[in-house]
Structure 1
């Protein structure tokens, strides 16, 4: 965790941190195979938080924000989806993965590629639509502004001359906090609202222009983060108990109740899915063991099949007691990125 974030927390402020998947390379001191398209680490600091009790309260807040912008009923969505990899490169990557597995160099690889689409409508409206169609447990909406008209580097500060993304990540984590902006956060049903000098009103709209009459453009070129996930990476309770709930193993839902129940039973008994789930569970047990009190790592639930609107999902739970004097930097370095991703 950046040093400034700890200082802000000590002052009684709220802090939100955003880390790209590629930040794991910086933590391990490894080079990146490609330039990241987002800052590796970016943070926001807030004077306080306004709690919203339940999904209805969050939805009401979103509706009020859109109404204030004159977009209460405006449509929003994503169109023109395209893959970020060609079929040839996809086939080549799978062939390399098969060779690594056959040689014993690794036992599992999560191969991913980006999907690109054109967004239309206001990001607040898009987030509202996604929340209504995908009722997941962990959700976040954030606007990350640029700093002085320049894209932020890994810690949210203006780029330093001559520094690479990895250099910025490793040298810039102790830099000053960036300018804050509004964040709606759904881990614990809270809404974090900015109270910094630079942004005393609602967040900018999709074009980066604040939606107050006569206001000048507000740091155009920032980006929105819309996140909806059913999976818990980890949670740290005030008493020091840390828990994770990895997901591995998926089966489609069915409209017919009998077929749907059969799909759930088959997933629960499937040897391949159980082996994959156990593999990730053991990985997270090992990760937690690096920062836990010896002997405190436990697995209270294993191979639980949970229903979601379109799929059945197999999950397990692991928990431990955080060792004394283990702070956020060590915790993040031990667990990031999530082993099940």
Structure 2
């Protein structure tokens, strides 16, 4: 039954289709990337800061965009694509690894827990805005958030009533409530089975994990899914490619739509009818106030939004136009 649920999910996705000192830096033609360790209230988090080329010679403080990615991912995947693109538009952009993912060590690993990840985003925002921050090139009075796919909900919730955040954008937002999650994951009986597996896994001393993405393992979370199984796209060495089975408890019970009517930040959604979950985005828009707007592009799949040049350029163009009003 569990394998059937995962196969069904993959098919659905395929159809729609305070900061510490800098450790090291690398320079590309487009921008500068600095590897840092963020000292936050939830512990040390590994992060990459992207700056426009030539900014090291400037005294101008830059607005900063915190960029987060899809479920199970690390900072070097789609967050890096958007961070580099935003740096080319003159922003500072920060990506980071959530606790227990990538280079951010934690005793709890590979847990896709929305509430835990919301706490991490809030902790990073607080660290950036702190008077003790050593990232003096940033204008911490101008902080924006950009969430991609699953972290769209996390970013929207983290920004809610957060005085340090001026505005938010989300790309290919995956926004579900319990009803949508139940339908996506095969109905009440199947969801109950996943929740039971999660409860059992949470009682183990060591994390119970499955492969996150695979072309050959039918028990993987995302079997034969585009992007995640392609070595020139998402299947990079930095990707943990693991999923903690205990994640189902937080993931299936998360309601990304619950706070839409309370959203107090100007928000831009970048969406498409061809993305994975347009129904969730439409429901959020219906529930939200006039401060939440959307731009819809034709024929761009979920995975194309992650890293394909035309899709990314369209998304970043819309985001830049939105951010320029509020930063």
TM-score by length of 2: 0.26
TM-score by length of 1: 0.25
Q: Which has the higher contact order (CA 8 A, sep 6+)?
A: 2
